[in-house]
């Protein structure tokens, strides 16, 4: 029995692969760009790449790409896949998820899987702690980080916890077939996250509050307009309001979720000049 791990270049997939290797569990890494030895070509937007990637596979760790999810489900069923673990997003829990550019693709993949005969486990993380890497360029150059809503809260979760959660549901049938809202152990405002980074780096990390329009202008060309608008709406809704914290990471992994401080210590070099 083999496990297909898609998104091989992502941090969660790499962490999951390391855990599978350590436990002697056979798996196959797959990526849209199969430029690493042992990695198979599987472009989740190109159905022609599905048959070879899925041959002999019984479980799949899947990234939420909606472009060809119908074809993927069909091929997975044909190949004899029994279980799919989807790295989704807690954004699907919002009432307007179907209309949100941030949530719509995750929701579409969830719905396609749940309507299929495949046993489906949904991992729904909130904010990835690694989103903070978007501040690295400013921190390296000594510039202030520009934030439209410095008081907006999130529950940043360490990618290592997501990898361990995925490993747990892939290897323990008793945990499969459910939806899990995964968070870090604390609700933290952006300003607080920057302060923690400053403590880890041993120097102040300044930020400046900018308007939504100014921030959109700065990210133009990197973040499409509709996504930028959705992010701004999401941050505005969480401004000054603590976000929900769950114990799902501890339930799945057997240990408390790693703190943002731990994540910052693990990635401090990414923020140093």
Q: How many domains does the chain have?
A: 2
pLDDT of 102: 86
Band of the pLDDT at 273, cuts 50, 70, 90?
confident
What integer is the mean pLDDT of 63-88? 97
Say yes or no: 145 and 261 in one domain: yes
Predicted TM-score of the model (pTM) = 0.95
Band (34; pLDDT cuts 50, 70, 90):
confident
Task: Answer with the residue of higher pLDDT: 118 or 34.
Answer: 118
Most confident of 6-10, 217-221, 257-261: 257-261
Q: Is the pLDDT of residue 35 over 80?
A: no
| Shared-domain flag, residues 214 and 187 | yes
- Higher confidence at residue 142 or residue 185? 185
177 within some domain = no
Domain span at residue 68 reads 2-125
Same domain, 106 and 23: yes
The answer to whether residue 111 scores a pLDDT higher than 60 is yes
Is 176 a member of any domain? Answer: no
Residue 255 has pLDDT above 60, yes or no: yes
Q: Which two tokens stand for residue 140?
A: 């390296």
Q: Does any domain span residue 163?
A: no
Same domain, yes or no, for 90 and 134? no
Question: What is residue 221's predicted lDDT score, i.e. its pLDDT?
Answer: 87
Given a cut of 70, is residue 1 above it in pLDDT?
no
At residue 194's C-alpha, the angle toward residues 191 and 195, to 5°, is: 85
Where residue 106 falls among pLDDT bands split at 50, 70, 90? Answer: very high
Asked whether the predicted pLDDT for residue 131 surpasses 90, the reply is yes
- pLDDT value for 243: 96
Q: Could you tell me which residue, 99 or 160, shows the higher pLDDT? A: 160
Decide if pLDDT at 196 tops 90.
yes
pLDDT tens per residue across span 156-187 = 999 999 999 999 999 999 999 999 999 999 99
Contact, 125 vs 157, CB < 8 A?
yes
**pLDDT score for 198:** 96
CA dihedral 151, 154, 91, 33 (to 10 degrees): 110
Q: Which candidate, 55, 58, 21, places its Cα nearest to that of 41?
A: 55
Per DSSP, 138 falls in state: H
- Return the CATH number at 192: 3.40.50.720
63 with 117, same domain?
Answer: yes
User: Both 218 and 100 in a single domain?
Assistant: no
Tokens, residue 1: 């029995």
Beta pairing, strands 2-5 & 57-63: parallel
């Amino acid at each position: 029995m083999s496990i297909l791990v898609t998104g091989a270049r992502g941090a969660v997939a790499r962490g999951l692969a390391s855990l599978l290797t350590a436990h002697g569990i056979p798996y196959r890494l797959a990526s849209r760009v199969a430029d690493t030895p042992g990695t198979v070509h599987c472009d989740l937007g190109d159905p022609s790449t599905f048959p070879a990637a899925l041959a002999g596979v019984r479980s799949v760790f899947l990234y939420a790409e909606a472009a060809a999810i119908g074809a993927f489900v069909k091929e997975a069923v044909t190949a004899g896949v029994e279980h799919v673990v989807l790295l989704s997003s807690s954004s699907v829990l919002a009432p307007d998820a179907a209309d949100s550019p941030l949530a719509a693709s995750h929701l579409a993949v969830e719905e396609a899987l749940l309507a299929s005969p495949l046993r489906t486990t949904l991992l729904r993380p909130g904010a990835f702690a690694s989103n903070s890497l978007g501040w690295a360029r400013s921190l390296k150059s000594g510039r202030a980080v520009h934030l439209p809503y410095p008081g907006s809260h999130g529950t940043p979760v360490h990618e290592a916890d997501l990898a361990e959660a995925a490993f747990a549901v892939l290897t323990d049938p008793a945990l499969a077939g459910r939806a899990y809202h995964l968070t870090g152990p604390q609700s933290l405002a952006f300003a607080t996250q920057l302060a923690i980074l400053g403590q880890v780096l041993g120097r102040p990390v300044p930020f400046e509050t900018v308007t939504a329009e100014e921030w959109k202008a700065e990210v133009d060309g990197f973040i499409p307009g509709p996504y930028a608008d959705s992010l701004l709406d999401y941050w505005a809704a969480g401004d000054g309001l603590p976000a929900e914290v769950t114990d799902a990471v501890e339930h799945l992994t057997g240990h408390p979720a790693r703190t943002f401080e731990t994540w910052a210590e693990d990635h401090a070099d990414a923020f140093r000049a």
